[in-house]
Chain A
Amino acid sequence: MAAVLESLLREEVSVAAAVRWIARSAQSSEVTAPTRPQAWPESAFRDDPGEAAALSSLRPLRKEFVPFLLNFLREQSSRVLPQGPPTPAKAPGSSAALPGRPGGPPRGGRGARSQLFPPTEPSSTAAAEAPSARRGGRRRGPGPGRERGGRGSGGLEEGVSGESSPWAGGRRPRGSGSPGSPSLARSDPPNLSNLEEFPPVGSVPPGPAGTKPSRRINPTPVSEERSLSKPKTCFTSPPINCVPSSQSSVPDTSPWGHGLPPGCRSLQEEREMLRKERSKQLQQSPTPACPTSESGSPLPSRTGNLTAEPADPARVSSRQRLELIALIYSSCIAENLVPNLFLELFFVLQLLTARRMVATKESDLEPIPGALDSLESPLFQSVHDCVFFAVQVLEHQFQVLSYLDKGTLKLLAENERLLCFSPALQGRLRAAYEGSVAKVSLAMPPSAQAVSFQPETDNRANFSSDRAFHTFKKQRDVFFEVLREWEDRHEEPGWDFEKGLGSRIRAMMGQLSAACSHSHFVRLFQKQLLQMCQSPSGTGGTVLGEAPDVLSMLGADKLGRLRRLQERLVAPQSSGGPCPPPTFPGCQGFFRDFILSASSFQFNQHLMDSLSLKIRELNSLALPQPEPSDEDGESDVDWQGERRQFAMVLLSLRLLAKFLGFVAFLPYRGPEPPPTRELQDSILALRSQVPPALDVRALLQQGLRARRAVLTVPWLVEFLSLADHIVPLLDYYRSIFTLLLHLHRSLVLSKESEGEMCFLNKLLLLAVLGWLFQIPTVPEDLFFLEEGQLDTFEVDTVTSEQGLDGMPVVDQHLLYTCCPYIGELRKLLASWVSGSSGRSGGFVRKITPTTTTGLGAQPPRTTQGLQAQLAQAFFHNQPPSLRRTVEFVAERIGSNCVKHIKATLVADLVRQAESLLQEQLVTQGQEGGDPAQLLEILCSQLCPHGAQALTRGREFCQKKSPGAVRALLPEETPAAVLSSAENIAVGLATEKACAWLSANITALIRREVKAAVSRTLRAQGPEPAARGERRGCSRACEHHAPLPSHLISEIKDVLALAVGPRDPEEGVSPEHLEQLLGQLGQTLRCRQFLCPPAEQHLAKCSVELASLLVADQIPVLGPPVQHRLERGQARRLLHMLLSLWKDDFQVPVPLQLLLSPRNLGLLADTRPREWDLLLFLLRELVEKGLMGRTEIEACLGSLHDAQWPKDFSEELATLFNPLLAEPHMPEPQLRACELVQTNRGTVLAQS
């Protein structure tokens, strides 16, 4: 393996070729080409025969390359990261894998590696830092709740036995091994010897020994060696580990310090006592301590080691080599050739934040001549190298980083080393941070919820007998009692579940005789499990915007701060590194311990049945699939709902599957894998006959086929994580692991094509699978399988239509909820910022959570919080319908309240805006200024009034809610219950309404005012005058007038008749005409049915009719035959028209049409020409003020353009000149008649 790496370093083989070579070992098909990183030129993919030859000789070693690389990097980095939290790497020493038995635990795993590191190895420390040793050690922690021993102790550790690593198990002081917290980091005591964090009282700078006895023990370094060695070394973290002869570090010594009166003893005495005490402690500790420091490396100084050494890009040694290895390492990550993506990222971030290089011997730092490019010289010779390498890798992994939560991105973007080494990457990260909306709180969901009773299970009908029913009720009570007691006491030190509750639980289980009682109880158990461990707030309410009840009671401005504080207080410092073993945090622990204490076969069987059923049900739940193409705001809101539902289902499934796995594999669980091969074979033979509790393989296959892996795989992983050591060896489960491995490798993140899984979906699967591959019970070599076994996968995925996989169902919040260990990245970075990573793996919390236990379980004791709790309690004791009613009423009243405010307050404001606007327009004239500016002025005046909305809204809810509740609840509801329900309804409704109003009232007012302004301005436009003056019909009007349409139609008929052509017998009677005009008058006076266009046409038609009358063109149907209208009748009709025009028409009447060429032409055509009616009409028009003389003059003026018979023009002139000249003529028609009479002869003569 080393040969491969070396040939890479010597550039005999290109990186691209190497990655392809490795990947080919993983996948027999040529899939690397489309997925290669873009940075690689095309040519890199062409096989160089030389390269091929170089690599083909190494063929059998192919699949061992990645584990080798990972181990190599870990080993190389060990000098830099001694104090860091464990970076487990589950990469087996591959040469030890037994070919015939792929699942067999490798033994002597480090053999091969140690060959690679001959005695010339610069530091045996480095070699000893076998990651597997770290891993094994980490897991060795015993605990009552974890009967799973680290398998590593039985397997890998043998290969490195004798070597001890700084953080190998046992060298750290253990906590009592509390069930939920197996992590070492958490149980570490504060490092009191850290002078920077705990400076001596009086803040005497660390100086010569024995300055002054102090309450804090100041272990002054007196070592002679220290002055010689560089003060770089920093084996600081586990103080107890590094107990040198002369330089004692003092853990947990504060009580001692207290106990000693200052000055009464010498420092030497103190030290002596401490040493004794410490050795006592060491004897008690479960694993032997390792008092000898590694290979005699100089002991680190305790002081001054916390400031990080500045990293300088200019001081990077062997840049090219680092670049090459970073590239190949990144490529392996990108191709999913590493088991756990996030573990690698964690490792890289550790390198990035490495504080200081552990100096070994001076000579080690000297480059070995001629060996610079080989593996002989250490890869990371300085912090600069580490940071350079880390930044290189991060650059390649930017895409993944950009999907991390906002907090992590911020920390990364603000990392000064990153900025220094790659400003470009920093810029991209900053951009990603600014664009990110993925705020993820690392706070754990509140653990225990109030105990709820399940009235549904009270139903007697479900029980075989009264007795069974009563027994069940009693059991239920016991169950809740036990639960309550656990809630109250489980955090008390010294309280033990089994001791406290075991006998009661077993007694209760003993009473469950009938099978049906068991199923009832299991249902209760399961329901309670889901309710408590998978509360809505657990699925991310706080982040998605639905504030949890308590927090929402506080003001919005304080909310954010409170939330941050809460997060800091309750966020676990570390959930056990980037790869914690499966645990049962919070109230899950109760259910696990209950199952263990009950130790009832029937119960377990029923529970498995019930869990399996529920899992099947939820797994096949048809999750709604909205159009993914829709991207407007509304569907986005829908998506939130879909996501939330998906998250709910997924988290429920994971919880159920975890417990199913726990119960199903419970009988087989043992601390260690079987010691001998023979024993293992016989167990395998036995176990392979047992059918699985739930056919998870079928479900997985279904899920893959239906493209629902994003739902199925996470719970399956939970299930498998609780399997025992034998399970992965069974054929059935082995095939599942094979499928999962295939899936893992196929989830290449850079692949983004149609039908691919969404990025975050992939990331979730990679995270959970990566975690699964690191579980102790999963064999290390499983991941690096033989290539032959990996070829049956592709078939399944490329089927079927759009499934859940292709939809963005996973968001960062769900990712972090399912995989809290990803948050370790952020914590690691945060610890770098906080500047002190001296102890406990670099995670330091500034806030000492002295009250965490209280805070976690109980909400803040504010009045509001208490009120909310009271309300919850109240509902628990009432029928569910009461709660539904109250919530319904609150919801409706809240909504009505908003509507009411809109209709009253906002409408009033809009009216005010309109009148203000009118004023503005009057003062400023028609222009009124810029509408946008106007709007601004109005809004600034009116929006402050929006504040009234809250008071009014409160009043409204106060007034309306009680009545509604009262009406909806049964008459018989007791008064106290009723009034409580009313009060709660008022409170909820007010909360809802005020929340909406306070958020939206300004925008609402603004919108409405804007609409009003544009309406007013538009109305201002064309016809402001005509609007107001229209009259309606009189009050007495009964709207019996003829319809306008009818009248238009009638008049049109008359006009048509007059214009012709007509039959000889056709004509109108004068009576009909009179009646028509009478009807026109009625219609014009009624106006009920009149619309302006109709009136305009009526006006025009009436003028046309007058023209025809004047020209005597209307054929009158008389008794004998068709004849002309009599003069008198004509005048009467004209009079009627005149009065209509004057009094009844409300639209302008186009009287000028009377003098249009066409209508006058009618007159011209008649023989003899009769002018008197026209003159009469014009005179009347002038007299009635309907037309001015000038107007008539203008009309006549335009007539000159028309082509008339010459005499006609003359006649016109003679006729009209006097009319226009003389203002008043007493007897006009006479003279007109005379004129007409005289002229008639000439006209006739001319025609």
Chain B
Amino acid sequence: MILTKAQYDEIAQCLVSVPPTRQSLRKLKQRFPSQSQATLLSIFSQEYQKHIKRTHAKHHTSEAIESYYQRYLNGVGRNGAAPVLLDLANEVDYAPSLMARIILERFLQEHEETPPSKSVINSMLRDPSQIPDGVLANQVYQCIVNDCCYGPLVDCIKHAIGHEHEVLLRDLLLEKSLSFLDEDQLRAKGYDKTPDFILQVPVAVEGHIIHWIESKASFGDECSHHAYLHDQFWSYWNSSLGRHSCRILTSSPSATRDRSTNN
């Protein structure tokens, strides 16, 4: 299904400074019932990521961290069962999972002699049971399951989507009897950066010649196209994998797909 630019813009418009929560997503679904949840989530996620990229720095000043931590301590001091951390994140317009990380890091700094390593923090975020403080563990867990744009669960979902789409794409190629080389085969041939699939015989789709296909399993807005072009696609070009490509940026096989040809 092809999403028009206008539709996309409309959705993106609705997402300006909306907290990345279940509730927001539900509202979005009600607003755009014709779009699948996956599409909306993907757009939401990307818009929110852009937002976070812009505002990330201001939440990481030492003053901000200190003030968040104090507010958290005050909050749980009043009521440990209340969603203190989640509310704080929503209030300061920051992703709950990321807020949880800030507070956890700060907490550990206070309680451990050595500053916590990144892997320890990641591991605690994945499994909050490891957090020595029970209240904080609950607060962090709450943030993580309620965040629909960041956090280990969301990362896992994204990864799963990516994998599923590669499988789907492979099935589609097999179904259409298109001969291809996949990433593993290409790597064995010595390419360092490879697209998901190289078509051994190029095909023409809607007037564009397609040499290779890279499934990004995410919504293809202009920004991500640009970024991927920069990080990945030029190196395919440089390694002469063919000038013509197909990048499928989609959130689900039935949902939005943006196909573009670069040459």
Inter-chain contact B156/A1097, CB cutoff 8 Å:
yes
Inter-chain contact B167/A1056, CB cutoff 8 Å:
no
Q: Which residues of A contact B168 (CB under 8 A)?
A: 1089
Partner of A1093, one of B145, B160, B167: B160
One of A411-419, A636-644, A708-716, A1044-1052 contacting the partner: A1044-1052
Q: How far is the CA of A1205 from the CA of B41 in the complex (A)?
A: 41
Inter-chain contact A1088/B156, CB cutoff 8 Å:
no
Q: Among residues 169 to 220 in chain B, which have CB atoms less than 8 Å away from a CB atom of chain A?
A: 171
Q: How far is the CA of A479 from the CA of B247 in the complex (A)?
A: 66
Q: Tell me how far the C-beta of B88 lies from the nearest C-beta in chain A, rounded to whole angstroms.
A: 13
Q: Among residues 114 to 154 in chain B, which have CB atoms less than 8 Å away from a CB atom of chain A?
A: 127-129, 131, 134, 137-138, 141-142, 145-146, 152-153
Q: Which residues of B contact A1101 (CB under 8 A)?
A: 153
How many residue-residue contacts, CB under 8 A, span A and B? 79
One of A2-10, A529-537, A1058-1066 contacting the partner: A1058-1066
Q: Tell me how far the C-beta of B130 lies from the nearest C-beta in chain A, rounded to whole angstroms.
A: 9
Inter-chain contact B163/A1091, CB cutoff 8 Å:
yes
Inter-chain contact A1158/B137, CB cutoff 8 Å:
yes
Q: How far is the CA of A197 from the CA of B184 in the complex (A)?
A: 74
Q: How far is the CA of A1045 from the CA of B159 in the complex (A)?
A: 8
Q: How far is the CA of A1100 from the CA of B127 in the complex (A)?
A: 9
Q: Which residues of B contact A1056 (CB under 8 A)?
A: 22, 145-146
Residue of A nearest to B129 (CB): A1156
Inter-chain contact B146/A1044, CB cutoff 8 Å:
no
Residue of A nearest to B81 (CB): A1165
Per-residue interface assignment for chain A, residues 98 to 140, with 1 indicating a CB less than 8 Å from any chain B CB and 0 otherwise: 0000000000000000000000000000000000000000000
Per-residue interface assignment for chain A, residues 847 to 874, with 1 indicating a CB less than 8 Å from any chain B CB and 0 otherwise: 0000000000000000000000000000
Q: Tell me how far the C-beta of B186 lies from the nearest C-beta in chain A, rounded to whole angstroms.
A: 16
Residue of B nearest to A1097 (CB): B156
Partner of A1044, one of B131, B137, B152, B160: B160
Residue of B nearest to A1204 (CB): B134
Q: Which of A1046, A1057, A1158 has the most CB of B within 10 A?
A: A1158
Q: Tell me how far the C-beta of B162 lies from the nearest C-beta in chain A, rounded to whole angstroms.
A: 9
Partner of B153, one of A1046, A1048, A1061: A1048
Give the interface SS of chain B, mostly helix, strand, loop or mixed: helix
Inter-chain contact A1043/B145, CB cutoff 8 Å:
no
Decide yes or no whether A190 CB sits under 8 A from chain B: no
Inter-chain contact A1059/B160, CB cutoff 8 Å:
no
Inter-chain contact B160/A1045, CB cutoff 8 Å:
yes
Q: Tell me how far the C-beta of B42 lies from the nearest C-beta in chain A, rounded to whole angstroms.
A: 11
Inter-chain contact A1048/B81, CB cutoff 8 Å:
no
Q: How far is the CA of A1101 from the CA of B168 in the complex (A)?
A: 25
Q: Among residues 1042 to 1088 in chain A, which have CB atoms less than 8 Å away from a CB atom of chain B?
A: 1043-1046, 1048-1049, 1052-1053, 1055-1057, 1059-1061, 1063, 1088
Partner of B156, one of A1057, A1093, A1161, A1203: A1093
Inter-chain contact A1048/B142, CB cutoff 8 Å:
no
Q: Which residues of A contact B137 (CB under 8 A)?
A: 1157-1158
Give the interface SS of chain A, mostly helix, strand, loop or mixed: helix
Partner of A1202, one of B86, B134, B138: B134
Decide yes or no whether B7 CB sits under 8 A from chain A: no
Q: How far is the CA of A1043 from the CA of B166 in the complex (A)?
A: 13
Decide yes or no whether A1229 CB sits under 8 A from chain B: no
Decide yes or no whether B74 CB sits under 8 A from chain A: no
A1048 with B145, Cβ < 8 A, contacts A1158-B137, A1161-B138 known: no
Residue of A nearest to B138 (CB): A1158
Inter-chain contact B138/A1094, CB cutoff 8 Å:
no
Q: How far is the CA of A1153 from the CA of B164 in the complex (A)?
A: 28
Q: Tell me how far the C-beta of A339 lies from the nearest C-beta in chain B, rounded to whole angstroms.
A: 54
Q: How far is the CA of A1157 from the CA of B136 in the complex (A)?
A: 12
Q: Which residues of A contact B159 (CB under 8 A)?
A: 1091, 1093-1094
Partner of B83, one of A1045, A1060, A1063, A1157: A1060
Q: How far is the CA of A1045 from the CA of B251 in the complex (A)?
A: 11
Q: How far is the CA of A1153 from the CA of B137 in the complex (A)?
A: 13
Q: Which residues of B contact A1100 (CB under 8 A)?
A: 127
Inter-chain contact A1044/B134, CB cutoff 8 Å:
no
Q: Which residues of B contact A1157 (CB under 8 A)?
A: 129, 134, 137
Decide yes or no whether A1159 CB sits under 8 A from chain B: yes
Q: Which residues of A contact B171 (CB under 8 A)?
A: 1039
Could you tell me how many residues of chain B have their Cβ less than 8 Å away from some Cβ of chain A? 31
Q: Which of A1060, A1153, A1203 has the most CB of B within 10 A?
A: A1060
Q: Which residues of B contact A1049 (CB under 8 A)?
A: 41, 157
Q: Which residues of A contact B24 (CB under 8 A)?
A: none
Inter-chain contact A1061/B83, CB cutoff 8 Å:
yes
Q: Which residues of A contact B261 (CB under 8 A)?
A: none
Inter-chain contact B129/A1158, CB cutoff 8 Å:
yes
Partner of B22, one of A1053, A1091, A1159: A1053
Partner of B163, one of A1094, A1156, A1165: A1094
Q: Which residues of B contact A1039 (CB under 8 A)?
A: 171
Q: How far is the CA of A1199 from the CA of B81 in the complex (A)?
A: 20
Q: How far is the CA of A1165 from the CA of B81 in the complex (A)?
A: 9
Q: Which residues of A contact B161 (CB under 8 A)?
A: 1043, 1045
Q: Among residues 51 to 75 in chain B, which have CB atoms less than 8 Å away from a CB atom of chain A?
A: none
Q: Which residues of A contact B164 (CB under 8 A)?
A: 1043-1045, 1089
Inter-chain contact A1161/B134, CB cutoff 8 Å:
yes
A1055 with B83, Cβ < 8 A, contacts A1063-B23, A1091-B159, A1094-B156 known: no
Q: How far is the CA of A452 from the CA of B46 in the complex (A)?
A: 72
A1061 with B157, Cβ < 8 A, contacts A1056-B145, A1158-B128 known: no
Q: Tell me how far the C-beta of A306 lies from the nearest C-beta in chain B, rounded to whole angstroms.
A: 65
Q: Which of A1044, A1046, A1056, A1159 has the most CB of B within 10 A?
A: A1056
Q: Which of A1089, A1157, A1202 has the most CB of B within 10 A?
A: A1089
Q: Tell me how far the C-beta of A1016 lies from the nearest C-beta in chain B, rounded to whole angstroms.
A: 15
Q: How far is the CA of A1060 from the CA of B82 in the complex (A)?
A: 9
Inter-chain contact B129/A1203, CB cutoff 8 Å:
no
Q: How far is the CA of A1089 from the CA of B38 in the complex (A)?
A: 17
Q: Tell me how far the C-beta of A1151 lies from the nearest C-beta in chain B, rounded to whole angstroms.
A: 12
Partner of B141, one of A1048, A1059, A1089: A1059
Q: Tell me how far the C-beta of A1145 lies from the nearest C-beta in chain B, rounded to whole angstroms.
A: 15
A1059 with B142, Cβ < 8 A, contacts A1153-B127, A1153-B129, A1158-B128 known: yes
Q: How far is the CA of A1158 from the CA of B137 in the complex (A)?
A: 7
Q: How far is the CA of A1039 from the CA of B253 in the complex (A)?
A: 14
Q: Which residues of B contact A1053 (CB under 8 A)?
A: 22
Residue of B nearest to A1054 (CB): B145
Per-residue interface assignment for chain A, residues 1022 to 1043, with 1 indicating a CB less than 8 Å from any chain B CB and 0 otherwise: 0000000000000000010001
Residue of A nearest to B140 (CB): A1158
Inter-chain contact A1052/B141, CB cutoff 8 Å:
no
Q: Tell me how far the C-beta of A1062 lies from the nearest C-beta in chain B, rounded to whole angstroms.
A: 8
Q: Tell me how far the C-beta of B199 lies from the nearest C-beta in chain A, rounded to whole angstroms.
A: 21
Q: Which of B134, B138, B160 has the most CB of A within 10 A?
A: B160
Q: How far is the CA of A1101 from the CA of B151 in the complex (A)?
A: 14
Q: How far is the CA of A1048 from the CA of B161 in the complex (A)?
A: 10
Q: Tell me how far the C-beta of B121 lies from the nearest C-beta in chain A, rounded to whole angstroms.
A: 17
Per-residue interface assignment for chain A, residues 1094 to 1124, with 1 indicating a CB less than 8 Å from any chain B CB and 0 otherwise: 1001001100000000000000000000000
19 contacts between A and B (CB under 8 A): A1043-B164, A1044-B164, A1045-B157, A1045-B158, A1045-B164, A1053-B22, A1059-B138, A1061-B86, A1063-B23, A1089-B168, A1097-B152, A1097-B160, A1150-B127, A1158-B128, A1158-B131, A1158-B134, A1161-B134, A1161-B138, A1202-B134
- Knowing that A1048-B157, A1056-B22, A1158-B128 touch, tell me 18 more A-B residue pairs with CB under 8 angstroms: A1043-B160, A1044-B164, A1045-B158, A1048-B153, A1049-B41, A1056-B145, A1059-B141, A1059-B146, A1060-B83, A1061-B86, A1089-B164, A1091-B163, A1094-B160, A1097-B156, A1157-B134, A1158-B129, A1158-B141, A1165-B81
10 tightest Cβ-Cβ pairs between the two chains A and B: A1156-B129, A1045-B160, A1094-B160, A1056-B145, A1089-B164, A1097-B156, A1091-B163, A1045-B161, A1055-B145, A1158-B137
